[in-house]
Amino acid sequence: MRAVVCTAYGPPEVLELRDVAKPVPKADDVLVKVHATTVHVGDVRIRRFDVPRWQWLMARLALGLTKPRNSILGMELAGKVEAVGADVTRFKAGDQVFASTFGSGFGAYAEYKCLPEDGLLALKPQNMTFEEAAAGVASGAMAALRVLRKANLQSGQKVLIYGASGSVGTYAVQLAKVFGAQVTGVCSTRNLEMVRSLGAEHVVDYTQEDFADGAERYDVVFDAVDKIPSSRANQALNDTGVYLNIDKDSGSPSGIKTDDLIFLRELVEAGKLKAVIDRRYPLEEIVEAHRYVQKGHKRGHVIVTIVPDGEP
């Protein structure tokens, strides 16, 4: 099968399209024919070995000394079940599914991926294409859900989401609305209308004004991109307000539950949650896709198409 292999830590050019062995499912595995994946910011950070200097040693031991130990990156996918192991009962060949590969060795930059039946894997929302289903429901939306649940949001509370146009922020805006909050989104000029279209009552253009200098005070400030000092966030909170940060409050991957993925799927099918797709690239253009995401200005998600929608 074809797969993109990360041959070393470095620039996008270290990614190479190669022929590799097709995986074989174990007894409790589901073999998925991948139709679409994404360039997740986590993929970019691993490929660049983008970690703080003080974490270098532990990160090298965890990720790999000279190149990623799991050389096929890709943290989320959507596709069709090709085959199942002898002990699998939840899925069958032909099922349309979507998944996170974060706890399964990554590997979505390939034509096929084996996932454990009890992993973060579920039937695809019926009203989403494969590309839309790959676009962050199993990652960005899951992260936003875990963080916002910590806020114990009540209907009518005021929530500010910093980085509202990103892969986590776009879902955070929509989920906060599901919980009944009044949402203010902070983003750049070109994304103001898009964030409004997701349900934000108010938007702040960070290139023109500082949200912390305004008179408005919030019950929750959620930094969805880990780019603002806590002191600035706290300045915008009311006396009982809560500051939440995507890197510090999204929790351990061990806390991720398939039930949460099913909950998100139900929101999608109810029309309360949608994916935001910035650009699409074929697998052959993975280097260019990484180059674009590395610039740090994407809105929503960047899709890598392996099987175009409409093809079997």
The model's pLDDT over 35-58, given as tens digits with 9 standing for 90+, comes to 999 999 999 999 999 988 888 888
Q: What does the pLDDT read at residue 289?
A: 98
Tokens of 236: 């915008």
The model's pLDDT over 206-230, given as tens digits with 9 standing for 90+, comes to 999 999 988 899 999 999 999 999 9
Q: What does the pLDDT read at residue 146?
A: 93
With cut-offs at 50, 70 and 90, classify the pLDDT of residue 103: confident
Of 243, 224, 246, give the one whose Cα is nearest residue 234: 243
With cut-offs at 50, 70 and 90, classify the pLDDT of residue 123: very high
Q: Lowest-pLDDT range, 182-186, 213-217, 222-226, 277-281?
A: 213-217
The model's pLDDT over 163-181, given as tens digits with 9 standing for 90+, comes to 999 999 999 999 999 999 9
206 Cβ neighbours under 8 A, 6+ residues apart: 162, 186, 187, 188
With cut-offs at 50, 70 and 90, classify the pLDDT of residue 255: low
Residue for token pair 């007894």: 27
pLDDT for residue 252 is more than 70: no
Q: Lowest-pLDDT range, 115-124, 155-164, 207-216, 283-292?
A: 207-216
Share of the chain above pLDDT 70, in %: 98
pLDDT higher at 253 or 215: 215
With cut-offs at 50, 70 and 90, classify the pLDDT of residue 253: low
Task: Classify domain 2-136+275-305 by CATH architecture.
Answer: Alpha-Beta Complex (3.90)
Domain 141-249's class? alpha beta
Mean pLDDT of the chain: 94
The model's pLDDT over 132-160, given as tens digits with 9 standing for 90+, comes to 999 999 999 999 999 999 999 999 999 99
What are the residue ranges spanned by the domains of the chain? 2-136+275-305, 141-249
Rounded Cα distance, 170 and 254, in Å: 24
Tokens of 139: 């990652």
Q: What does the pLDDT read at residue 254?
A: 55
Is residue 247 packed enough to be buried (19+ CB in 10 Å), middle (13-18) or exposed (0-12)? exposed
